Copies of this chain bind each other. A is one copy, B any other.
Amino acid sequence: MAYGQGRTYKKVEVIGISSAGIEDAIQQASNRAQQSLEKLSWFEVEGIRGHIGDGGKVDEYQVMLKVAFELK
């Protein structure tokens, strides 16, 4: 890739969920999106939520993010 050359990217919105933490939820979403999309280039976090189970324990992190890839 060289700057200045015409090209087009697409962004897709996914939600990664993991009990291990925010970074792991992002990685999970990236792994899954990689299966059906072309090679991913970057992500942007859009929001962070999570579920709270018994006793107030955070039992999963839900990270809303956009992943981008080049349309070749």
Beta-carbon contact of B50 and A42 below 8 Å: yes
The copy count of this chain in the complex is 12
Question: Given A40-B52, A58-B30, are A11 and B8 neighbors across the interface (CB < 8 Å)?
Answer: no
- Interface size for A (C-beta < 8 A) is 57
Chain A residues numbered 1-48 whose CB sits less than 8 Å from any CB in chain B? 3-19, 21-23, 26-34, 36, 39-45, 47-48
Question: Given A12-B10, A49-B45, A61-B23, are A34 and B56 neighbors across the interface (CB < 8 Å)?
Answer: yes
Beta-carbon contact of A49 and B44 below 8 Å: yes
Question: Given A3-B53, A49-B44, are A8 and B22 neighbors across the interface (CB < 8 Å)?
Answer: no
A61 / chain B contacts, CB cutoff of 8 Å: 23
